Chains A and B, each alone.
Chain A
Amino acid sequence: ETGVTQTPRHLVMGMTNKKSLKCEQHLGHNAMYWYKQSAKKPLELMFVYNFKEQTENNSVPSRFSPECPNSSHLFLHLHTLQPEDSALYLCASSQEGVLETQYFGPGTRLLVL
């Protein structure tokens, strides 16, 4: 399998549930990103990992907890979410460096009830 994959593609959860989103990249990149895409809003960068180290946390609430065990895998752990957290969550990866382009996964459509 090539490119950037995300699982699950769709997720429905209650506000008291705990769930995790998974992203895997098969491109040999060493930087990975989580974005949130809400209706009628620009994509919002949430987290950046570079060589497994978190280099950016864009003021994301603590109910979102990222984990990057290695350069190929990125997780987003979710707990006690709010209905306004319902959105499309996109993962991306890039080769570290100023010239490199980000490649996106298909996203996870999250609905919080």
Chain B
Amino acid sequence: AQTVTQSQPEMSVQEAETVTLSCTYDTSESDYYLFWYKQPPSRQMILVIRQEAYKQQNATENRFSVNFQKAAKSFSLKISDSQLGDAAMYFCAYRSESQGGSEKLVFGKGTKLTVNP
């Protein structure tokens, strides 16, 4: 079974600085998808960024980028120019298919990010 590990329960960053959140995963599959979700205090999970394993190029969405190291099974999230609104729980997730063919996400335990003014 696939597992996702986020080794940093909490992180903090100064406003306008850069922070990197770590994620490693374990799988025997060669094709899969990786996600970072953000869960602010409002509790709604919001997709931040997505990476297809077959793509060598790291995904980027504005201030958010990933460092995807397939051989090392590592998928870190870098937040540049951190803003107060970035404060949230960040979840790394791995997608595998269930028997029914639907999307099945495996989540890490999350990293709580605090942004200091």
Q: Nearest Cβ in chain B — how far from A73, in angstroms?
A: 17
19 extra A-B contacts, CB within 8 A, seeds A40-B109, A98-B103, A101-B35 = A31-B103, A42-B4, A42-B106, A42-B109, A43-B107, A45-B104, A53-B100, A55-B101, A92-B45, A94-B102, A99-B33, A101-B47, A102-B47, A102-B105, A104-B37, A104-B46, A105-B44, A107-B43, A109-B43
- Is A43 within 8 A of B105, CB to CB? yes
Chain B contributes a number of interface residues (CB within 8 A of A) equal to 27
Chain A contributes a number of interface residues (CB within 8 A of B) equal to 28
Tell me whether A72 is interfacial, beta carbon within 8 Å: no
- Chain B interface residues toward A at CB < 8 A: 4, 33, 35, 37, 42-47, 50, 91, 93, 97-110
The answer for the CA separation of A109 and B42 in the assembled complex, in Å, is: 11
Contacts of A92 in B (CB 8 A): 45
Contacts of A43 in B (CB 8 A): 91, 93, 105, 107
Tell me whether A23 is interfacial, beta carbon within 8 Å: no
- Is B107 within 8 A of A42, CB to CB? yes
A98/B47 contact (C-beta < 8 A), A40-B109, A41-B109, A56-B104 known: no
The answer for the CA separation of A100 and B103 in the assembled complex, in Å, is: 8
Interface of B is mostly: strand
Contacts of B106 in A (CB 8 A): 42
Contacts of B42 in A (CB 8 A): 106
The answer for the CA separation of A47 and B8 in the assembled complex, in Å, is: 29
- Is B108 within 8 A of A31, CB to CB? no
Q: Nearest Cβ in chain A — how far from B77, in angstroms?
A: 16
Contact with B along A38-73 (1 / 0, CB 8 A): 001111010010100101100000000000000000
Tell me whether A74 is interfacial, beta carbon within 8 Å: no
Contacts of B100 in A (CB 8 A): 48, 50, 53, 55-56
- Is B44 within 8 A of A107, CB to CB? yes
Find A42's partner among B98, B103, B108 (CB 8 Å cutoff): B108
